[in-house]
């Protein structure tokens, strides 16, 4: 890993490595979401995007190879933060509302991923590497499509969400105190 980033190539290598860390962490997030999801369609959406995300990791490895670099990851504290926030919120959310919370987390993650790929594609083109941009565009297309799907699912889940607290009364107070 570089101490300092002094050339466009070094900066690009570092950011490509951060994208790799991001995608590997997204795999963990989706695996956790799959365990928590209550609605079958929400679960199916996370399962489908997990398979796509495995492809995103491979595409990033291909980008490293095209540039003639060893695959090397870099820190991505942004995705660590999104993972921590999503995990903490899901933990304190009742099962009847958890799909909504998981989908909201997914929108935030997708926006981050879209920003990462937009930057990587702009800078690949700036280095004259349309081949690398083309590989990363595949990931960006998947993320953009997934964001649309997640937003659609969120509207559907919100429409059927209970209007009353799921655990009101004494039993609910006990559950809330224990959680
Ligand atoms: Fe991804």
129-178 pLDDT, tens digit per residue, is: 999 999 999 999 999 999 999 999 999 998 887 777 666 544 444 445 55
CA 55 / ligand 1 centre spacing (Å): 8
What letter would DSSP give residue 73?
-
Short-list 101, 100, 120, 89, CA closest to 22 = 120
- Percent of the chain beyond pLDDT 90? 86
H helices of 37-178, where? 40-66, 77-91, 95-126, 130-160, 169-178
The predicted pLDDT at position 161 comes to: 76
- The phi, psi pair for 35, rounded to 5°, reads -70, -30
The predicted pLDDT at position 167 comes to: 60
Name residues whose C-beta falls within 8 Å of residue 124's C-beta, 6 or more positions apart in sequence: 12, 63, 130, 132, 133, 136
Mean pLDDT on 4-21: 97
CA 121 / ligand 1 centre spacing (Å): 14
Contact 124, 132 (CB under 8 A): yes
3 pLDDT higher than 90: no
Q: Tokens for 124? A: 């690949």
Average pLDDT, the chain: 92
CA 78 / ligand 1 centre spacing (Å): 14
The predicted pLDDT at position 166 comes to: 60
CA 143 / ligand 1 centre spacing (Å): 6
pLDDT digits (tens, 9 = 90+) for 110-128: 999 999 999 999 999 999 9
Short-list 71, 125, 164, CA closest to 117 = 125
Q: Tokens for 121? A: 């594609």
From the CB of residue 170, how many other CB atoms can be counted at a distance below 10 Å? 8
The predicted pLDDT at position 91 comes to: 95
Mean pLDDT on 4-11: 96
CA 176 / ligand 1 centre spacing (Å): 35
pLDDT digits (tens, 9 = 90+) for 84-98: 999 999 999 999 999
CA 125 / ligand 1 centre spacing (Å): 20
Short-list 78, 87, 70, CA closest to 19 = 78
CA 152 from centroid of its chain's CA atoms? 17
104 pLDDT higher than 70: yes
CA 119 / ligand 1 centre spacing (Å): 14
108 pLDDT higher than 70: yes
């Amino acid at each position: 890993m570089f101490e300092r980033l002094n050339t466009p190539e070094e900066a690009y290598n570092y950011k490509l490595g951060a994208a790799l860390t991001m995608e590997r962490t997204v795999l963990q997030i989706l695996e956790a979401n799959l365990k928590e999801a209550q609605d079958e369609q929400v679960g199916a959406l996370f399962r489908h995007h997990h398979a796509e995300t495995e492809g995103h990791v491979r595409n990033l490895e291909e980008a490293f190879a095209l540039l003639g670099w060893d695959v090397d990851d870099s820190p991505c504290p942004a995705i660590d933060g999104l993972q921590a926030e999503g995990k903490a919120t899901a933990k304190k959310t009742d099962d009847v509302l958890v799909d909504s919370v998981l989908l909201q987390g997914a929108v935030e993650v997708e926006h981050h991923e879209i920003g990462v790929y937009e930057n990587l594609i702009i800078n690949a083109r700036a280095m004259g590497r349309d081949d690398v941009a083309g590989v990363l565009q595949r990931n960006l297309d998947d993320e953009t499509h997934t964001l649309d799907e997640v937003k659609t699912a969120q509207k559907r889940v919100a429409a059927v969400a209970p209007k009353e607290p799921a655990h009101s009364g004494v039993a609910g107070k006990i559950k809330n105190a224990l959680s």
